[in-house]
Amino acid sequence: MKRAFIIIMTVALVAVSCTSGKKEAVNPFFAEWKTPFGVPPFDQIKNEHYLTAIDSGIALARLQIAEITGNEDAPTFANTVAKYDRADELLSKVAAVFYSQTSASTNDTLEALQMEIAPRVSAFSDEVLLNAELFGRIKTVWENRDSTQLSAEELFLLDNLYKSFVRNGALLGPEDQEKLKKMNQELSVLTVRFSQNVLAETNNFRLVIENEADLKGLPESVITTAAEFAKDEGLEGKWVFTTQKPSMIPFLQYADNRDLRKKLYDAYLNRGNHGDQYDNNKVLADIVRLRADRAKLLGYRTHADIVLETRMAKTPGNVLNLLNDLLERSLVVAKRERDEMQKIADAGGDKVKIEPQDWWYYAEKLRKEKYDLDENELRPYFSLDNARDGAFAVATKLYGITFTRINDIPLPHRDAQAFEVKEADGSHVGVLYMDFYPRESKRQGAWCGSYRDHQVTDGKEITPVVTIVGNFTPPAGDKPALLSMDDVLTLFHEFGHGLQGLFSENTYSSTTVAWDIVELPSQIMEHWATQPEVLAMYAKNYETGEVIPQALVEKIRNSSYFNTGFDNVEIMAASLLDMAYYSLEAPVSIETQQFEKETMQKIGLIPEIEPRYRSTYFLHMVDGYDAGYYVYTWAAVLDNDAFEAFREKGIFDQATATSFRKNVLEKMGTMDAEQMYLNFRGRKPEIEPLLRNRGLN
């Protein structure tokens, strides 16, 4: 085995060191990373390193699997499952860096590589999951599980590994397995194309304003940012706005020019819907068709039935019951909000009937009238650095951990920051990267990922390297990056994901996370962001250092139900759209725009609100949250109920925090999700706290 490994690595090294007859640096993926804490050497990794490293990772994993299947000893957890868990170490190491970079710092070369790598990785995945000898050994271990002395984590891993093989075609006949492979190949390319099209469409649109009068209503900070962006684009003296939310939302909130608001919002809504090379209508239709065909081939009614098999929700019916109930409640509130805003428009003599592009504009006026709160009053107290440090301070008070800036360490991008995370006793927990500002090479939204997950290898603990990525408004002029309240909540949200990754205590790299609970660690963190005693810790004026006045804190509290109808309707509509696509039974043939329109009509969506994501740029629905966008709502039931446990004893109660860390954050993916929650809360979650906190009861 060792000799085979050396042969593979030698071939790989020759491939990268003799290009064009010139000696080049050794591929960094084939060497031990002698960086602080073993983080990826981003400054050494070049585009040309990925493909060779991926191919070598596949080849090495293939050899290690052959060693497992060639073992003449009876299958055991140790000689089969544990060895399988380690088989793709190199491949996973490369993939973690590659896919993180293609999300946060891509370029034309990386995008081309994605299209080349995706089918290769998909083909290898099928090769493994449809390996009859490997499955036979895993099946034997699974069938004998009751007669072996396995830990609870090992039993959970084994059970889910066996079922994953079955769910991915291990029991199909040879002819059907070939059909499955072809479907998976097509899907691997289509999903990459969909994502790349969204990025291209986001980058291709610019609202260029030349007449200063068209900026009427906009805050000075927003105007300054737009001017600096225009300058960077070679348009000095003009102002540029984009469909990136940090640029678009302030424009929709404050710009008096209704025609320009509509132009910008329509550009956002129609990304991927222009009938050109970046059009996603047929791409999505093909994805939905293939996933339905795949489900039928595997013996499931729909794609949603496959996805939900490992979830807390279990069935599409349970998901729809929750979503439809909340949508009905939310529509009542949203219609009331719409009517209140229409009165403001009428009173101001605007002579308009509110349409989707108007919602943010009149909602901002309603906020000021009803709660005497202008979001621009808050921004000076929410500098990005202060909000980040506030999230750190909450984690320190809850769990005793500390965050220390690391300056001499490779960064995934020059804008990124790095922190060492330590326990209260000074022991190392992991490394946290944070990358906050938008750029053309970064996809939309905010997310948390990892360059290395926690595990135990040969008795040695491997500590995590986590990354949090966002798209917040960058500094402008002499002002630091100033966040909106929504931005602050987003930062705390992703930080919650980061804590879960840092606290993971899994022994093996293979985990099975019920996606319904994956948003609990993130969404519960949002609750701390607006607590008065937490605001006092971080909400400080960037110029004077003054702590946010109590009057503003009261306004934040009083306005907690502001726009809640709109927010909930937006997300329920998107969740129901996702479920509608993936609840279709094969054969499926749809026209996406018509399907979306009919779905929104069926659920009773009012014309003044669009779903949070429309079909042609709904990335969640394609790359991981397919038949799963509902999880944000399912997890909302959990996070509101869980935060009640903190409220009952104090939001920084150490016993409650310890229980949440030990039973939820550390156990994610290593035990049943319902049991995790029961162990923490002592009972099943209740929906009343969610209804109360969102003003829907």
Q: What is the mean pLDDT of residues 662-672?
A: 97
Q: What is the mean pLDDT of residues 111-134?
A: 97
Q: What is the mean pLDDT of residues 386-395?
A: 98
Q: Among residues 154, 201, 337, 494, which one is catalytic?
A: 494
Angle at 438 between CA 434 and CA 441, to 5 degrees: 100
Which pTM was predicted? 0.93
DSSP result, 26-79: PPGGGS---SGGG---TTT--HHHHHHHHHHHHHHHHHHHHHHHT--SPP-III
Residue range 205-231, pLDDT digits in tens: 999 999 999 999 999 999 999 999 999
Residue range 596-614, pLDDT digits in tens: 999 999 999 999 999 999 9
Write the CA distances from 631 to 162, 202, 308, 571, 594, integer angstroms: 25, 26, 11, 11, 26
Nearest to 395 by CA among 602, 639, 165, 657: 657
Domain co-membership, 31 together with 167: yes
Q: Show the DSSP H helices in 205-315 as ranges.
A: 220-232, 245-254, 258-269, 281-297, 303-308
What is residue 647's predicted lDDT score, i.e. its pLDDT?
96
Strands 428-435 and 417-422: antiparallel
Confidence of residue 12 (pLDDT cuts 50, 70, 90): very low
What is residue 9's predicted lDDT score, i.e. its pLDDT?
36
Domain co-membership, 97 together with 223: no
Residue 63, in any domain of the structure:
yes
What is residue 25's predicted lDDT score, i.e. its pLDDT?
63
What is residue 34's predicted lDDT score, i.e. its pLDDT?
96
Q: How many whole angstroms separate alpha carbon 390 and alpha carbon 641?
A: 23
Domain co-membership, 102 together with 213: no
Q: Are 244 and 220 in contact (CB under 8 A)?
A: no
Domain co-membership, 265 together with 142: no
Q: How many whole angstroms separate alpha carbon 6 and alpha carbon 52?
A: 15
Interhelix angle 316-347/359-371, rounded to 10 degrees, is 70
Confidence of residue 13 (pLDDT cuts 50, 70, 90): very low
Strands 465-469 and 428-435: parallel
Lookup: tokens for 581:
């696509």
Strand partners, 462: 455
Q: Print the domain residue range for 235.
A: 205-269
Q: What is the mean pLDDT of residues 12-34?
A: 62
Residue range 289-300, pLDDT digits in tens: 999 999 999 999
Confidence of residue 21 (pLDDT cuts 50, 70, 90): very low
Burial class (CB in 10 A: 0-12, 13-18, 19+), 23: exposed
Residue 249 reports pLDDT greater than 90: yes
Domain co-membership, 164 together with 209: no
Write the CA distances from 58 to 46, 305, 593, integer angstroms: 19, 30, 39
Instruction: Look up tokens 């649109």; give the residue.
Output: 205
Residue range 540-590, pLDDT digits in tens: 999 999 999 999 999 999 999 999 999 999 999 999 999 999 999 999 999
Q: What is the DSSP letter of 530?
A: T
> How many domains are there within the chain?
3
More confident of the two residues 8 and 496:
496
Residue 177, in any domain of the structure:
no
Q: How many residues does the chain have?
A: 697
Domain co-membership, 157 together with 233: no
What is residue 476's predicted lDDT score, i.e. its pLDDT?
86
Q: Are 540 and 546 in contact (CB under 8 A)?
A: yes
Nearest to 677 by CA among 663, 691, 687: 663
Domain co-membership, 99 together with 239: no
Residue 24 reports pLDDT greater than 90: no
3-state SS of 632-666? HHHHHHHHHHHHHHHHHHCCCCHHHHHHHHHHHHC
Nearest to 520 by CA among 682, 394, 667: 667
Domain's final residue, options 231, 251, 269: 269
Residue 477, in any domain of the structure:
yes
Confidence of residue 477 (pLDDT cuts 50, 70, 90): confident
Task: Clarify whether 337 is annotated catalytic.
Answer: no
Nearest to 436 by CA among 408, 403, 474, 407: 474
Residue 188, in any domain of the structure:
no
Strands 417-422 and 402-405: antiparallel
Residue 176, in any domain of the structure:
no
Lookup: tokens for 170:
């291990």
Residues 6+ apart with CB under 8 A from 684: 674, 677, 678
Domain co-membership, 115 together with 225: no
How does the average pLDDT of the chain come out, rounded?
95
Sign of CA dihedral 476, 477, 480, 486: negative
Residue 315, in any domain of the structure:
no
> Where does residue 217 fall: left (phi above 0), alpha (psi -120 to 50 degrees), or beta otherwise?
left
Domain co-membership, 143 together with 217: no
Q: Where residue 41 sits, what CATH number does that domain have?
A: 1.10.1370.40
Q: How many whole angstroms separate alpha carbon 128 and alpha carbon 122?
A: 10
Confidence of residue 366 (pLDDT cuts 50, 70, 90): very high
Residue 599, in any domain of the structure:
no
Residue 652 reports pLDDT greater than 90: yes
Domain co-membership, 136 together with 231: no
Q: Are 419 and 405 in contact (CB under 8 A)?
A: yes
Confidence of residue 20 (pLDDT cuts 50, 70, 90): very low
Q: First and final CA of the chain: distance in angstroms?
A: 63
Task: Say whether 422 sits in a helix, a strand or coil.
Answer: strand
Domain co-membership, 432 together with 518: yes
Angle at 441 between CA 440 and CA 443, to 5 degrees: 90
What is residue 375's predicted lDDT score, i.e. its pLDDT?
87
Residue 135 reports pLDDT greater than 90: yes
Confidence of residue 10 (pLDDT cuts 50, 70, 90): very low
Domain co-membership, 259 together with 386: no
